[in-house]
Structure 1
Amino acid sequence: MCTSQLHGAFGESTSLAFNPIWRIIITTGSTNLFSRLVAMIGATAILFRRWGVNNDTPATGSNPDIPQAKPQGIPTLKMPTAKGWEPGHVPTAAPGLTVNAFATDLIHPRWIHVLPNNDVLVAEALQETGPVKTAFDYAMVSTMKRAAAIGVSANRITLFRDSNGDGVGDIRNVFLDKQRQPFGMASLGDKFYVGNTDGIVVFPYEEGATRITGEGRKLVDFKPGGHWTRSLLPNSDGTKLYAGVGSMTNIADKGMQEEEGRAAIYELDLESGNSRVFASGLRNPVGMAWEPTTQTLWTVVNERDGLGDEVPPDYLTSVQEGGFYGWPYCYWGKTVDDRVPQDAAMVATAIRPDYALGGHTASLGLCWMPAGTLSGFDEDGMVIGQHGSWNRSTLSGYRVVFVPFHDGKPSGPPRDILSDFLAPDEKYSYGRPVGVTIGPDNCLLVADDVGNVIWRVSGAS
């Protein structure tokens, strides 16, 4: 059995095993087999798309029912084609809410940051095409292009200003460009921080400015590649900055040395400039948020592939300083992944996450939403942007959900805020939600990287 990894394109890394006959074709390296192989993979994808319906109970909540792992020789592959939104077609909002396009005509918008003056910044970045060395690489890149998940990255941050208060960003400027896959953003006083895939950069910033012109200074270096997103979150007093850095591979396929410094949340002390791993064993921690009553850091994590539709679930968890959350040795506490060379001492320390979000939902976006921000959502809680699966018999995610909190912990099932990003027959995705944040005037802003739009959800209690 041979395994090829293609990482970071779908919000989680792809681990695709293929049978010996494919291996023979691919290792020939003959370019005249490209079309034949592409046709084979296309036919196989259609076959996979028709494979049954998942009958497992969704693994969600604080005490999920997680099925037994079933390592897949050939994994389920079910990737909808990126279609985008027709004029007048928008996601379905929960009862009592309205949704409109705040900004359009973007290039793969992934993350959102609201400046102190209510200007809205959008990071536009995309997984870039790596070297194509084999026919199989060619086939996979073609599939990812069809899903609008790979291509030329805009590598910029765009500013939108709603000058007349109508819920649409009518003033638009390039705020910062020529970055390296920018993602996370933070503004603290006269400084603006960017989480590029290769590190954190700081720029001089003046409130109200519509463009940054000063030179940036690198504060921390990260290894690029693999899971490429680098989210940022400051603490309440602006003295520290936290950054999410995902793994290089699915289950440390290239060895733990390749994963050094990854699958972790970093803490950067802004006064001293020192950085350290704050928590580890988090395969791909993307969105981060503070629970305000306890001042606890929370994150959403994309778990590993190749063990089944609901195994293991992606999750929402509080983050303990120095905590280890299992990857790659185990999942959901101390459930061992037999595919990985084991470290019993590390497994013994693994912390069980707080709340399961279902298998392969690709939960990326995260923000705290106070009670009453939106009509019908009368509890405090977390909003989560679920980018959506590509590797299940029945697709999951493709929605924005709310998880209520009580006494600093999740307290109920997830509820939809936005849905219907996916066609009913699962052949097409109109959009895929990523970053979420609270915007001006009690609205929720949602980045949609397939629809190339920022959605604005409103309707206050």
Structure 2
Amino acid sequence: MMRSLLLIGAAAVALSAWDAQADPAQHGPDPDLPEPQRGLLPTMKIPRPAGWGDERPIVPQGYRIEAIATDLMIPRQTLVLPNGDILVAEGSGGGAPALRPKDIIANFIKALGKSPVKGGNRLTLLRDADGDGTYEAQGVFADNLNAPYGLAFANDAIYVANQDALVRFDYADGQTQASGPPELVTDLPSAINHHWTKALTASPDGRFLYVGIGSNSNITERGMDAEVDRAVVWQVDAETGRHKRFATGLRNPTALAIQPGTDQLWAVVNERDEIGPDLVPDYLTSVQEGGFYGWPYSYWGQNVDPRAQPQDPAKVEAAIRPDYGLGSHVAALGLAFSSPVMGAEFAEGVFVGEHGSWNRSDPSGYKVIFVPFQDGKPAGEPVDFVTGFLTADGDNTRGRPVGVTVDPRGALIVADDLANTVWRVSVDRPQPAAALEPDGSQSLQ
């Protein structure tokens, strides 16, 4: 069986009708969009896992990176609690049945780039009691969850978006374990679960929760009935659980965040596959209430995707262009607004965790980037912030970033679901200079 799958995987590459050549300029508000290319099979290549050994990811000069938790069970997203403790959602969900032979091939190829560890279905709590950047305490805050992914804190409660339900735990400052099972806020669409992750954030006043729900297919292969309440962001009343569709046409909104000082919701979205290595760019965008973002009928505004049938010209005409392209197939899964604690160069903008491609011969993603903002909007080229996951030849990867969270104490927290590690990136402040006392001894200034 394994030999057959390997032969099929090799055939996937050999039969591909396209391959990545020179990458087009796909970052920013007006990315290059080449002509769609369709063939029998798309290119399918994923870097194989490789251990870190004595190495660690690369960060800009003036910053340092440390592993603050290892040997986890598929860490996805993190949440910094008011007292500085960090919660880590660990789990793996999905399991939608394959529809076509190439789905079987794609699933096999994707699995080659994943950790063999079983998802923990739990929340792990990390504590740095003395604030020195070393998290000396680690324990399970809650378990027996169902593929937890999105996390939010509001109303003195921890909210968790499982793959099938939004739940809450009452929380007292400093608590290290849940006091009981979670309370159901509302069920979430979970039939088939082609895209199983449920992103989550809370409004500044805690009144509403926003849940990102991905599509049930790449481009409606299961029919539109399977896409009811899919490819959407829900707005959920935190007290009652009542919900409505806040925005639609977002193929897979994998991370959500509120822009500081505003009520503006932002998302990173994974776009569609199988029309070429450079289509369609994943994106970062503000999310407008009532807005429609194209899926499945069109991409990047009014670029029609004829695979979606029947077409809806009125929907295409209404489709909103995203704010900022991130590049095709980077698989953006993390989003966090920065603050001055991250240093002047990275004070205004967002960090984006890019899990990495499986369907390009030249891998894309596999890093954390910083998108600078000016006047409240993305402005300029992205900056690599955490790299070194991919080996130089692109054939192997030591890790795959998922969630990113800014710690107000001055660090970026990065979940890595391949190395099963949580990384902490902080400003590498210089040690105090030594000065001579009058007696000739040294003191620290």
TM over 0.5: yes
Call closer, same or farther: CA 1:416–1:309 in 2, change over 3 Å.
same
Partner of 2:131: 165
Partner amino acid, structure 2, of 1:89: E
Partner of 1:177: 143
Q: Could you report, residue by residue, the CA deviation over 1:356-408 in whole angstroms, capped at 9, with x for unpaired residues?
A: 000001011001002x3334525410110011111112111111011111111
The DSSP-based 3-state class of the residue aligned with 1:186 is strand
Partner of 2:159: 193
Call closer, same or farther: CA 1:421–1:36 in 2, change over 3 Å.
closer
Cα drift, residue 340 of structure 1: 1.1
Q: Which residue of 264, 278, 293 corresponds with 1:310? A: 278
| Residues 1:110 and 2:76 aligned together | yes
The DSSP-based 3-state class of the residue aligned with 2:186 is strand
Partner of 1:204: 170
Partner of 2:357: 389
| Residues 1:358 and 2:327 aligned together | yes
Partner of 1:238: 206
Give, in whole Å, the separation in 2 of the partners of 1:82 and 1:356. 27
Tell me, yes or no, if the aligned pair for 1:294 and 1:408 is still in contact at 8 Å: no
Partner amino acid, structure 2, of 1:186: A
Call closer, same or farther: CA 1:68–1:46 in 2, change over 3 Å.
closer
Partner of 1:419: 387
Partner of 1:15: none
Give, in whole Å, the separation in 2 of the partners of 1:58 and 1:165. 42
Tell me, yes or no, if the aligned pair for 1:382 and 1:404 is still in contact at 8 Å: yes
Partner of 1:216: 182
Equivalence map 1:327-342=2 (5 Å): 327-341=295-309, 342=311
Partner of 1:259: 227
Partner of 1:13: none
Equivalence map 1:122-161=2 (5 Å): 122-127=88-93, 142-148=108-114, 152-161=118-127
Give, in whole Å, the separation in 2 of the partners of 1:158 and 1:122. 5
Q: TM-score, normalised by structure 2?
A: 0.90
Partner of 1:11: none
Give, in whole Å, the separation in 1 of the partners of 2:254 and 2:110. 21
Cα drift, residue 37 of structure 1: 2.2
Partner of 1:98: 64
Tell me, yes or no, if the aligned pair for 2:94 and 2:194 is still in contact at 8 Å: no
Partner of 1:19: none
Q: Could you report, residue by residue, the CA deviation over 1:315-370 in whole angstroms, capped at 9, with x for unpaired residues?
A: 00010000000000000001000111111121111111011000001011001002
Cα drift, residue 164 of structure 1: 3.0
Partner of 1:344: 313
Q: Could you report, residue by residue, the CA deviation over 1:190-230 in whole angstroms, capped at 9, with x for unpaired residues?
A: 32211000010122222211110323222221222111111
Equivalence map 1:287-326=2 (5 Å): 287-326=255-294
Call closer, same or farther: CA 1:423–1:124 in 2, change over 3 Å.
same
Partner amino acid, structure 1, of 2:298: C
Tell me, yes or no, if the aligned pair for 1:48 and 1:78 is still in contact at 8 Å: no
Q: Which stretch of the first structure deviates more once superposed, 319-328 or 378-387?
A: 378-387
Tell me, yes or no, if the aligned pair for 1:37 and 1:136 is still in contact at 8 Å: no
Q: Percent sequence identity over matched residues?
A: 44
Call closer, same or farther: CA 1:256–1:301 in 2, change over 3 Å.
same
Partner of 2:438: none
The DSSP-based 3-state class of the residue aligned with 2:37 is coil
Q: Could you report, residue by residue, the CA deviation over 1:140-180 in whole angstroms, capped at 9, with x for unpaired residues?
A: 65544432267632101100001232312210110010010
Partner of 2:11: 44
User: Which structure 1 residue ranges, 5 or more long, are not aligned?
Assistant: 1-33
User: Which structure 2 residue ranges, 5 or more long, are not aligned?
Assistant: 430-445
Call closer, same or farther: CA 1:135–1:327 in 2, change over 3 Å.
closer
Q: Could you report, residue by residue, the CA deviation over 1:259-303 in whole angstroms, capped at 9, with x for unpaired residues?
A: 100101110112343111100000000111122254311100000
Give, in whole Å, the separation in 1 of the partners of 2:96 and 2:216. 14
Give, in whole Å, the separation in 2 of the partners of 1:132 and 1:252. 13
How many residues end up aligned between the 2 structures?
426
Give, in whole Å, the separation in 2 of the partners of 1:243 and 1:231. 5
Q: Could you report, residue by residue, the CA deviation over 1:50-92 in whole angstroms, capped at 9, with x for unpaired residues?
A: x865213231111212111112321010111122321x21111
Partner of 2:442: none
Q: TM-score, normalised by structure 1?
A: 0.87
Partner amino acid, structure 2, of 1:445: I
Partner of 1:25: none
The DSSP-based 3-state class of the residue aligned with 1:377 is helix
Partner of 1:85: 52
The DSSP-based 3-state class of the residue aligned with 1:159 is strand
Call closer, same or farther: CA 1:350–1:435 in 2, change over 3 Å.
same
Give, in whole Å, the separation in 2 of the partners of 1:93 and 1:215. 39
Give, in whole Å, the separation in 2 of the partners of 1:129 and 1:150. 15
Q: Which stretch of the first structure deviates more once superposed, 221-230 or 252-261?
A: 221-230
Tell me, yes or no, if the aligned pair for 1:96 and 1:376 is still in contact at 8 Å: no
Report the RMSD for the aligned CA atoms in angstroms: 2.4
The DSSP-based 3-state class of the residue aligned with 1:315 is strand
